[in-house]
Each structure stands twice: as structure tokens, then as C-alpha cells.
Amino acid sequence: MTSSIANMNYAIIGGASGMGLATVHTLLARGAKVAVCDISEKNLEALLARLSMKDSSKCFTKTVDVTDRSAIDCFFLEAKERFGSINGIANFAGTGGHGLGTEAVWQTSEDEYNFIMNLNVKGLFNVLSSALVPGFLAEHASVVHIGSIFSQKGFLNGAVFAASKHAALGMVRSAAKETGSRVRVNCVLPGVIDTPMHRANLERVKNFTPTPATPIPRDGNAQEVANVVAFLLSEESSFVTGDAWNVDGGANA
Ligand SMILES: NC(=O)c1ccc[n+]([C@@H]2O[C@H](COP(=O)([O-])OP(=O)(O)OC[C@H]3O[C@@H](n4cnc5c(N)ncnc54)[C@H](O)[C@@H]3O)[C@@H](O)[C@H]2O)c1
């Protein structure tokens, strides 16, 4: 069976590393065209360098900071101009902040609060408020945002991070109500996933174990998240909207 992703056009934000990068490769492998933006120019160059000739002809990249609304507008416009239409968007750009797992709420600085909220909440606002203007995306398009299992529960010494991920889920669910059958909007909630972000947390904090004793007793990998994101971006999930999909080895069981 040909994937419904073949011949579709997607825009991926934060696609140069980790789960975003795995999603870019998954969509290209299934025959889609993919516009990729990220704040890291170096990682975007590395992504392009690794693509086959065939895949690089179906992909373009742009250095964009998701917190910059006009840069996001330009990225989406360029993707639509180059591809003719946009069938789906996934936003992976996010942060745990600089002190995740080590700072109680009363130890968290106002600068840190602003950094986390700006990226995890305003970044999503920029994406949704730009992309969901009626008529901009193709009919029955799908938008996926990457929250966290901490979109639904507290994080010990990570209150602002958890608050930002709760806010993102609220925005996704509300947007789904506003767009109805025109555009589906969903959130994926990863548990602990082995990515450069997670590895940086492990280096920073000894015994970083935000989800101890999951039924599947290991970390997830980026491809396992990409598979669920690709499903939500595809027509196979045509009756799914306003939902939160855990990819967490059963951490919430
Ligand atoms: N790894 C985990 O265990 C885990 C668990 C739950 C949720 N998450 C969330 O998943 C998402 C992806 O994380 P990952 O683990 O793949 O991390 P990652 O660091 O490997 O990838 C994140 C990408 O986002 C990009 N980015 C960061 N700030 C940006 C900005 N301002 N504008 C544009 N791009 C920006 C980075 O350059 C990077 O390429 C994040 O929102 C993160 O909070 C991760």
C-alpha cells in the first residue's frame, strides 16, 4: 500500500536534531517533500550533507528562530511557494531550560522563566497563529506539536518547564476546536527519548531519571516518536484531533 504521505508537503520546525530529524527522514523516505527549519545552521548543513540526491531535491532548509514570528511567517510562505501547498506541520523546537531537574520554582530566575516560556509557548503560538489562518494550509491538513508527558503532570524541580508544556497542550486542544474539520491539531507527549537534548541533560544532572520504572524499561528512541508523528500527519489519522499521544514506554500507565 502506498503511504498517504507520498506526494504530500510538510514543514518541520526544529528538524535538524533528535525527534525532528528522525521525522524529516521518515517523511522523505515515504515520498513527501519537506521544508525544514531550525535555529542551528550547522545542524541544517549536516542534515543536507547526509541526504541522497533524490531526497535533497525534495527538501529545503532555512535557519529560523521559532520565537521570531516574522521569520516563521516567511518560512511557511517560502514552503508554500516552493511546494504549491502545505499538508502538514510538526513543531519540535523546544527546551527543558538550563536547570531542569535541579531548580525548585523558588530558585528559578525570571530570565529562565522567560527563556522557557518564550520558546515552548510563544514559539507554538507563532506556529499556530501563522499557519491556521483560514485558507493558508491545504484542506484537511494536520499540525502536530511536541509536548511532553509533563504536559499532564508535575516535574520535580522543573515547574516552569512543566507549566510551559501544559500550556502548549491547552493551546493545541483549543486550536483543534477552532479549526474543526479544516485542520487537525494534535500533541505528541514523549517520555524519556534518547536524543542530543536528553544526553545533554544526563551530562548536566547525575542520575537524571524523570520517568523511573516504566513498564517498557528503557529510553525511547527518536524513530519511535517519528513514527507516531508521521501517523498523525497522515490521512490514516483522519478522525484524530485535539488529542495527546503518549510515546513514553507506559510511564503514564
Ligand atoms: N528528549 C526527550 O527526552 C524529550 C522528552 C519530552 C519532550 N521532549 C521535547 O521534544 C522536543 C524535541 O526535543 P529533542 O529531544 O528531539 O531535542 P533536540 O535538541 O535533539 O532537538 C530540538 C531541535 O530544536 C531546535 N531548536 C531549539 N530552539 C529553537 C528555536 N528557538 N527555533 C528553532 N529551532 C530550535 C534545536 O536546534 C534542535 O535541532 C522538544 O520540545 C523537547 O522539549 C523531549
pLDDT of 153 > 90? The answer is: yes
Q: Looking at the DSSP assignment, which residues form a beta bridge with residue 34?
A: 10, 59
Residue 3 pLDDT: 80
Mean pLDDT of 31-58: 97
Residue 212 pLDDT: 86
d(CA 127, CA 171): 11
CA distances (Å), origin 182, targets 2, 51, 76, 233:
24, 33, 18, 14
Cell of 106: 523558588
pLDDT of 75 > 60? The answer is: yes
pLDDT of 33 > 90? The answer is: yes
Express each pLDDT in 202-215 by its tens digit: 999 988 889 889 99
* 65 Cβ inside 6 Å of ligand 1: yes
Residue 172 pLDDT: 99
Band (pLDDT 50/70/90 cuts) for residue 1 is: low
d(CA 214, CA 9): 36
Residue with grid cell 548536566, as numbered in its chain: 204
Q: Is 195 helix (H, G, I), strand (E, B) or coil?
A: coil
Whether 70 contacts 46, CB under 8 Å = no
Q: How far is the CA of 146 from the centre of ligand 1 (A)?
A: 9
pLDDT of 18 > 60? The answer is: yes
d(CA 42, CA 240): 36
Residue type at 235 in one-letter notation: E
Cα end-to-end distance, the chain, whole Å: 33
Site to probe by mutation for ligand 1, drawn from 42, 122, 195 as the one with most ligand atoms within 8 Å of Cβ, is 195
Which DSSP helix (H) or strand (E) runs through 91? strand 88-91
Residues 6+ apart with CB under 8 A from 198: 192, 219
Whether 127 contacts 91, CB under 8 Å = yes
Q: How far is the CA of 32 from the centre of ligand 1 (A)?
A: 22
Atom 25 in ligand 1: residue holding the nearest Cα? 14
* 190 Cβ inside 6 Å of ligand 1: yes
Question: Ligand 1: which atom is nearest the Cα of residue 220?
Answer: 3
* 151 Cβ inside 6 Å of ligand 1: no
Mean pLDDT of 186-211: 94
Q: What is the CATH number of domain 9-247?
A: 3.40.50.720
Express each pLDDT in 159-180 by its tens digit: 999 999 999 999 999 999 999 9
DSSP calls for 199-249 = HHHHHHSTT--SS-S-SS-S-EEHHHHHHHHHHHHSGGGTT--S-EEEEST
Mean pLDDT of 45-64: 97
Please tell me the pTM assigned to this model: 0.98
Q: How far is the CA of 218 from the centre of ligand 1 (A)?
A: 20
Residue with grid cell 519540535, as numbered in its chain: 92
Mean pLDDT of 30-53: 98
Helices 18-29 and 41-50 sit at what angle, rounded to 10 degrees?
A: 30
